[in-house]
Amino acid sequence: MMLTLSCVRFCSGLTTFRTAAHVRPLHSVSGITVAQIDEEVAKLLELKAQLGGDDGKNQFVLKTPKGTRDYNPKQMAIREKVFNTIIGCFKRHGAETIDTPVFELKETLTGKYGEDSKLIYDLKDQGGELLSLRYDLTVPFARYLAMNKITNIKRYHIAKVYRRDNPAMTRGRYREFYQCDFDIAGQYDAMIPDAECLKIVHEILSALELGDFRIKVNDRRILDGMFAVCGVPDDKFRTICSTVDKLDKMSWEDVKKEMVVEKGLSEEAADQIGQYVSMQGGMDLAERLLQDPKMSQSKQACAGLSDIKLLFSYLQLFQVTDKVVFDLSLARGLDYYTGVIYEAVLTQAGVAPVANDTQNGAEENVSVGSVAGGGRYDGLVGMFDPKGRKVPCVGVSIGIERIFSIMEQKAEALAEKVRTTEVQVMVASAQKNLLEERLRLVTELWNAGVKAEVMYKKNPKLLSQLQHCEEAGIPLVAILGEQELKDGVVKLRVVATREEVDVSRADVISEIKRRTSEA
């Protein structure tokens, strides 16, 4: 019996029942042997260890998985605001929206992400298909187009993606995070949809008021052409490209060292690359490079440079050239880009989360963190089509976790009062035994579409009802009392001014609607 009791003490909740069931056979045995007891004790101690030892309580870890987080109501209110801005922009540009499952067949993701494939989350093989969590929204989009034989669409997709990366959550880097993607698929005239993607990034980052930003633009064909004319062997293009991609986090010296020492590139080739990747400019730079004796030898580079020129001419019409820079050091990690690539970075270190937790002072003004990126990927849909039919695509992905982090910090810094509900009126009573009257009135309000609340107590104190309004930012209180009921009125109180006015019961809905639509 003691055994049972001591065991029960280790457990709580549902587990108690199971353990009791486990122990029962022990009692039903009349002539129990020492060996049998030892065996049972061992079993129970094992069970105890599983349950967390001697602490007398559950010992499981109460947390979200590594690299993930909950959003509390305040964070959700900020998130909703950001989403509304982004969706508003996507809709203004005429995008439809689609949704795809959170997981895909494993093979759908295979061979699309280069070295980053190791970061894909796989599901356990529980029988049936092998599945992986989506790594981005671009590959599912391409799969969707091929599967439904869609050759042109302008769509946005806002959803969570998953990467088994080493999270740096203070910098807004998570393993589960939202992407807000806008893509244009279809055979169109060069650079018009590409320019619209940049216009969208410009509109969204301006509207969110995150401080100054810069949109870097380059082209995979220019990079490849540059590698060719600098003497990089064909089979080293991708790996040298990855190294160039680190220029926003590493100095040129370190990048060069990686090229030469780790990747075996000749020092001469590296130095030639070094001259190009330090170049930044606008349409003029593209024109200059078209005249560059070395660069102009590459047909690919010339095609890319002509398109950059065309792109800038459209960007001028879109009135966004103030933030766009043609930057030859921009490379981007993903395998599937085939043409224009771009990346937006916030340049105001003050508001950016990276500046706060950087270990290295020198970095402070360098890497403020990319908040959007994208480019042209004309080959990806063809990889899914059984006949290899290509659908040219260009798109952009807004990474909002960093944006959230910044907006949260801003809200905190300003000590902004963020409302987490939209309640317009609280139905309250000053006296006891008026629950029924309160429920009757709140029903009328709900049925009329008014956002209203009532306390779930039979006899709440007026003070606690008013306090709730202050805390939650509810602007009005509809107060019922014996006198009001007798007079056929409701006392309407404005929380901010404490002003009170009796409104006839018949007019109370229209009066509340009038007052809250004013605000």
Give the span between the Cα atoms of 399 and 376, in whole angstroms.
18
Is residue 47 within 8 Å of residue 20, measured between CB atoms? no
State the DSSP H helix or E strand holding residue 298, giving kind and residue range, or none if neither.
Answer: none
Residues 328-367 that bind a copy of itself (CB under 8 A): 335
Is residue 478 within 8 Å of residue 487, measured between CB atoms? no
Q: Does 461 bind a copy of itself (CB under 8 A)?
A: no
Q: How far is the CB of 10 from a copy of itself (least distance, A)?
A: 13
Closest to a copy of itself by CB, 108 or 329: 108
Give the span between the Cα atoms of 420 and 436, in whole angstroms.
28
Stretch that binds a copy of itself, among 74-82, 223-231, 291-299, 326-334 (CB under 8 A): 74-82
Please give the span between the terminal C-alpha atoms of the chain, in angstroms, as a whole number: 68
Residue 336, marked binder: yes
Q: Does 73 bind a copy of itself (CB under 8 A)?
A: yes
Q: Find tokens 């933030």 and name the residue.
A: 323
Residue 136, marked binder: yes
User: For 255, left (φ over 0), alpha (ψ -120 to 50), or beta?
Assistant: alpha
Residue 163, marked binder: yes
Q: How far is the CB of 458 from a copy of itself (least distance, A)?
A: 5
> Strands 213-219 and 324-327, how do they pair?
parallel
3-class state of residue 211 by DSSP: coil
- Sheet with 425-429, strands from edge to edge, namely 452-454, 425-429, 476-480, 489-494, 500-504
Q: Annotate each residue in 101-130 with x if it binds a copy of itself (CB under 8 A) or - if it does not, as one string.
A: xxxxx-xx--xx--------xxxxxx-xx-
Residue 188, marked binder: no
Give the span between the Cα atoms of 429 and 439, in whole angstroms.
11
Closest to a copy of itself by CB, 135 or 384: 384
Task: Count how many Cα atoms sit within 13 Å of the Cα of residue 518 in the half-sphere of its side chain.
Answer: 8
Q: How far is the CB of 136 from a copy of itself (least distance, A)?
A: 15
Q: How far is the CB of 314 from a copy of itself (least distance, A)?
A: 6
Q: Does 452 bind a copy of itself (CB under 8 A)?
A: yes
Q: How far is the CB of 254 from a copy of itself (least distance, A)?
A: 29
Identified binder of a copy of itself from the candidate list 33, 447, 497, 517, rule CB under 8 A: 447
Residue 179, marked binder: yes
Q: Does 29 bind a copy of itself (CB under 8 A)?
A: no
DSSP bridge pairs for 352: none
Closest to a copy of itself by CB, 34 or 387: 387
Closest to a copy of itself by CB, 351 or 474: 474
Residues 225-264 that bind a copy of itself (CB under 8 A): 235
Closest to a copy of itself by CB, 37 or 192: 192
Closest to a copy of itself by CB, 95 or 270: 95
Give the span between the Cα atoms of 392 and 152, in whole angstroms.
9
Helices 299-317, 220-229: crossing angle, 10 deg rounding: 150
CB atoms within 10 A of CB 30: 5
Q: In terms of C-beta density within 10 A (0-12 exposed, 13-18 middle, 19 or more buried), how is residue 363 classed?
A: middle
CB atoms within 10 A of CB 429: 25
CA-to-CA dists, residue 264 to 229, 239, 259, 310, 480, angstroms: 17, 11, 6, 36, 82
Q: Does 72 bind a copy of itself (CB under 8 A)?
A: yes
Q: How far is the CB of 32 from a copy of itself (least distance, A)?
A: 22
Residue 465, marked binder: no
Residue 337, marked binder: yes
Identified binder of a copy of itself from the candidate list 382, 408, 485, 495, rule CB under 8 A: 382
- Hey, what amino acid is at 339? G
Is residue 374 within 8 Å of residue 395, measured between CB atoms? yes
Q: Does 69 bind a copy of itself (CB under 8 A)?
A: yes
Task: Count how many Cα atoms sit within 13 Å of the Cα of residue 291 in the half-sphere of its side chain.
Answer: 5
Residues 478-507 that bind a copy of itself (CB under 8 A): none
Q: Does 410 bind a copy of itself (CB under 8 A)?
A: no
Is residue 139 within 8 Å of residue 108, measured between CB atoms? yes
Give the span between the Cα atoms of 95 and 97, in whole angstroms.
7
Identified binder of a copy of itself from the candidate list 62, 362, 414, 463, rule CB under 8 A: 62
Stretch that binds a copy of itself, among 186-194, 247-255, 291-299, 395-403 (CB under 8 A): 186-194
Q: Does 70 bind a copy of itself (CB under 8 A)?
A: yes
The token pair that represents 482 in the structure block? 């014996």
Give the span between the Cα atoms of 447 and 449, in whole angstroms.
5
Identified binder of a copy of itself from the candidate list 32, 188, 433, 500, rule CB under 8 A: 188
Q: How far is the CB of 95 from a copy of itself (least distance, A)?
A: 7
Q: Does 383 bind a copy of itself (CB under 8 A)?
A: yes
Residue 493, marked binder: no
Is residue 122 within 8 Å of residue 134, measured between CB atoms? no
Q: Does 64 bind a copy of itself (CB under 8 A)?
A: yes
Closest to a copy of itself by CB, 136 or 196: 196
Stretch that binds a copy of itself, among 93-101, 223-231, 277-285, 408-416 (CB under 8 A): 93-101
The token pair that represents 172 in the structure block? 């807004």
Identified binder of a copy of itself from the candidate list 82, 135, 143, 402, rule CB under 8 A: 143
Q: Does 14 bind a copy of itself (CB under 8 A)?
A: yes
Binding residues for L-histidine, as ranges, are 136-138, 163, 179, 183, 332, 336-337
